[in-house]
Chains A and B, each alone.
Chain A
Amino acid sequence: MSFKEWFVKRSPLPEMWREHMAEYYAPKNFNIFYYAGSLLLLMVVLQFLSGFLVMAHYIPTARDAYDSVYGIMYDVHYGWLMQYMHVDGVSLIFILLYIHMARGMLYGSYRSPREIVWIIGYTTYLAFMAEAFFGYILPYSNLSYWAGTVITSLFKSIPFIGHWVTTLVRGGAGMSGDTLGRFTALHVTVVFLVIVGLIVFHILYLHKVGSNNPDGIEIKANKGPDGHPVDGIPFHPYYSVKDLFGFGVWLTIFAAIIFYAPTFHHIFLERTMSTPANPLKSLPDVTPPWYLSPFYAMLRAIPNKNGGIILMVVAVLFPFVLPWLDKNPVKSTRYRPITRIMLIIFFINFFVLAYLGEQPPLPKYFFPERLGAAIYVAFFVLLPLVSKFEPTRTPPARVRFRAH
């Protein structure tokens, strides 16, 4: 008995390899948006590696946090590389998350039978938000200090136990070294493990029902004599080599940012991140990073604090019910022109809200912010009606694909 036979007999890996790679049949008509999924996986691995290296030099105390984070930049060999990888990686992850979700919405990937895939994926996005927030606080810059104060004070709006919860989250009456201790623990253990776990389940649940495609038709409905979908191709080697090419392009972009524009015009790394926490010097306007600012704009759209929080929570939770809001038998918006236009307005509106969320709280922005929030909510409210009555074109019986 060769070693290979001996090993294969005892190992679950060959079977898993077949199930998820070599004999996982994916539709052959994936377009450019379908790179985002594998790229996210790559970015999470890179965040883990750079985060591990940064963590080796980080000191989570109020006195040393800022100096230790910036000390990495000056005194650690290639410290700037791990630091910038970790900081810019966050923004790139959110760019990919938004592309990944927008693609799912465009082609109806959230629809039956993939509702659970969508819900797990959206939960992962929320976990990424929490992870990004905790990471944001750790350098204990002045922005960290005040952003942490603002965001943790949102818990005060919980009825009856709000103050108790806020104190528990902060580890005291205000931001302090105790906050850094618990946020570090959350950032590197609980929330990170939750993200990894959710990603595993996201993929397992996807592979159970099979991937959707830009035409929104089920390839499993049309199987060949060998029992495999005629429009499906094995993930390995076809999509593994395609994703390898995607990795190359994306890493080139990533490296170009790290080496030539690490702060990306101070969008990826804000200016107020580069001054130590100062409880006596509040920032004139605390704005969130670009990837969270659409929700911040909606929070500000209502002048009443609790009202704003309710609107923001509703806006964040709305996508969870998306699979049940869409009533049309046709999945892909390729064949649903009205929904496609609604979606494009929704995406542009999201960008505009991101821009508004970065602006100082001036009265001239109140109306656009309210309009943006109204458009955001209107999309979800109108979708059941529109999807029920909209005219659709008939999707093709087989996926549209031109051989390369």
Chain B
Amino acid sequence: MKKYVVWAGMTLGLLANASGAFAADNGPKMLTPHYTYNAKTIIAGAKLFATDCMACHSIKFMRYEFLTQDLGMSKADVHKYIMLPTGSEFKGTMVSAMPINMAHKWFGLPPPDLSQMVRYKSQDWVYTYLLSFYQDPKRPSGWNNHVFPNVAMPDVLAPYGGIVNEHGKVLRAGDESPQKFKEQVTDIVAFLRFVSDPSVVQREDDGPWVLGLLVLFTIFAYFLKKEYWKDVK
């Protein structure tokens, strides 16, 4: 028995090392958003996303009804805060109203769908990206980004966060305090994290039951094995 504990410890140690080792990432230093991942944060992020992001960006895998089913938002709230007045269906997908051919014309390429963006780039990346815009008169949009140089997207959050130049000098203060602005960006990140894997709600609801049943089964199987193996001398 003791031997197996040692083996298990060694395996866990290896895995713990491996998770760091295999997730190698090179590039600029990333900031980490600090928040509690719950329905309140996600809903706050969803409201910001609907007002500030969804004019251009779709999250085509999400449906409005998921917000009520998974997060417990009321249908009236979804209609009031989230749904765009474009005649979209409550059971429909959350698609931007911007026509793709127009997007091509305006930005050079259509804004990407953000459904799996946090999964693809990591939440640290999205958080740092949204906080790294600066004014750059050389760009057609007037904006540039430290994390994603020469990005086509303008800093749509500038009214909240203010405008800075390349070296971080504040050119115009935002409507929100820096603290509050970071919180808002964090909410958006939390929402996009939820969008990239909404199964988290069901997984965490069902997880303890499934694991509990399996552990119970394992205990019974262990005593059954012990009983049979009594005869083996």
Contacts and interface: CB of A to CB of B under 8 A. Distances in A.
A and B are interacting partners:
yes
Given A242-B229, A403-B233, A80 B61 contact: no
Given A271-B122, A274-B116, A360-B26, A244 B203 contact: no
A63 interface: no
A267 B23 contact: yes
Given A237-B228, A404-B232, A275 B19 contact: no
A303 to B, nearest CB: 22
Interface string A159-173: 000000000000000
B218 A274 contact: no
A355 interface: yes
A266 B217 CA distance: 30
Contact of B120 (A247, A259, A275): A275
24 contacts: A28-B232, A71-B61, A80-B202, A81-B199, A237-B228, A245-B224, A245-B225, A252-B211, A259-B203, A259-B210, A260-B207, A265-B19, A265-B23, A266-B23, A267-B18, A271-B119, A274-B196, A290-B18, A355-B18, A355-B21, A359-B24, A360-B24, A403-B233, A404-B232
A265 B221 CA distance: 31
Given A32-B7, A73-B61, A271-B122, A249 B218 contact: yes
A259 B205 CA distance: 9
Interface of B: 4, 7, 14, 18-19, 21-24, 26, 61-63, 66, 115-116, 119-122, 196-199, 202-204, 206-207, 210-211, 214-215, 217-219, 221-222, 224-226, 228-230, 232-233
A52 interface: no
Contacts of A259: 203-204, 206-207, 210-211
A248 B206 contact: no
B232 A262 contact: no
Contacts of B230: 404
B18 to A, nearest CB: 7
A275 B21 contact: no
B137 to A, nearest CB: 28
Contacts of A73: 61, 197-199
B62 A272 contact: no
A258 B204 CA distance: 10
A401 B187 CA distance: 59
A78 B210 CA distance: 14
A130 B34 CA distance: 42
A287 to B, nearest CB: 9
Contacts of A403: 232-233
Contacts of A249: 218
B22 A244 contact: no
Contacts of A264: 19
A151 B197 CA distance: 29
B114 to A, nearest CB: 11
Interface in A211-266: 233, 237-238, 241-242, 244-245, 247-249, 251-252, 255-256, 258-260, 262-266
A265 B19 CA distance: 6
Given A248-B218, A359-B24, 20 more contacts: A70-B61, A70-B115, A73-B61, A74-B198, A80-B197, A81-B199, A241-B225, A241-B229, A245-B221, A245-B222, A248-B215, A249-B218, A260-B207, A262-B203, A267-B23, A271-B122, A274-B116, A355-B22, A358-B22, A360-B26
Contacts, number: 120
Given A80-B203, A238-B228, A74 B63 contact: yes
A32 B4 contact: yes
Given A266-B23, A358-B22, A248 B214 contact: yes
Contact of A74 (B62, B119, B207): B62
Contact of A80 (B116, B199, B204, B217): B199
A290 B22 contact: yes
A78 B229 CA distance: 39
Contacts of A266: 22-23
Contacts of B120: 271-272, 274-275
A34 interface: no
The 7 closest A-B pairs by CB, nearest first: A248-B218, A80-B199, A259-B207, A274-B116, A265-B19, A245-B221, A274-B119
Interface of A: 28, 32, 67, 70-71, 73-75, 78, 80-81, 84, 233, 237-238, 241-242, 244-245, 247-249, 251-252, 255-256, 258-260, 262-267, 271-272, 274-275, 290, 351, 355, 358-360, 401, 403-404
A37 B7 CA distance: 18
B221 A248 contact: yes
A70 B63 CA distance: 13
B229 A238 contact: yes
Nearest to B20: A265
Q: Which of A74, A247, A262 has the most CB of B within 10 A?
A: A74
B116 A275 contact: yes
Most B C-beta atoms less than 10 A away, residue of A264, A275, A355, A403? A275
Contacts of A242: 225, 229
A271 B23 CA distance: 10
B232 A233 contact: yes
Contacts of B219: 248
Nearest to A237: B228
Contacts of B218: 245, 248-249, 252
Given A248-B218, A358-B24, A241 B18 contact: no
Contacts of A351: 14
Interface centre among A71, A242, A245, A351 (most CB of B within 10 A): A245
Contacts of A233: 232
Nearest to B19: A265
